[in-house]
Amino acid sequence: AAEAVVREGVVPLAVGLGTCCLSGVESERQVLDGLAAGYRLVDTASHYGNEAAVAAALKKSGVRRSEVMLVTKIWYDDMGPNASAAINRSLTELGTDYVDLLLMHFPGSIDAMQSPSANRQRRYDTWRCMEDAQRSGVARQIGVSNFT
């Protein structure tokens, strides 16, 4: 498998299981099947509404949490100075005390419809909350996703 080491020494996996557009029992089944097939990176997001199903699949799979790279994302509606509450909600939904990768989800998508300067501040505030999450150990890595 292809590997790359990022700054903090975490080795991300090259292939992962995405859970966008999956919900409920379907989401849980797909993640269970993926883990059984050998996937060890699971990508979800608060906006997908399936973090609890991902958690249930991880629990039922018997795969140790430490063996799975778990990725989640903060949605635009949760960005800003209160992003830490969204991070905590995701951790609760995922049934874990940390994620391996925490991403800001579509952070630039609303600029065309709203104030770019206000959105810049939301991104800044969100990033600061994400840095706090990383410092406290609830996010091993942080980054952005779909910055369009």
Amino acid identity of residue 17, one-letter, is L
**13-46: pLDDT as tens digits:** 678 999 999 888 999 999 999 999 999 999 999 9
**How many Cβ atoms sit within 10 Å of the Cβ of residue 42?**
24
- How far is residue 61's CA from residue 103's CA, in Å, rounded to a whole number? 25
pLDDT, position 126: 95
| Alpha carbon 126 to its chain's center | 14
Q: Catalytic pick from 39, 48, 98, 124? A: 48
Q: Which of 41, 63, 69 is nearest to 140 (CA)?
A: 69
* Catalytic status, residue 98: no
φ and ψ at 55, to 5 degrees? -60, -45
Say if CB 93 and CB 134 are below 8 A apart.
Answer: no
CB-CB contact of 36 with 23 (8 Å) = no
DSSP bridge pairs for 104: 74, 144
6 by DSSP, 3-state: which? coil
Tell me the pTM.
0.88
The H or E element containing residue 130 is helix 116-136
pLDDT of residue 58: 97
pLDDT in 10s for each residue of the chain, 148 residues: 445 555 566 566 678 999 999 888 999 999 999 999 999 999 999 999 999 999 999 999 999 999 999 999 999 889 998 899 999 999 999 999 999 999 998 776 665 566 778 888 889 999 999 999 999 999 999 999 887 6
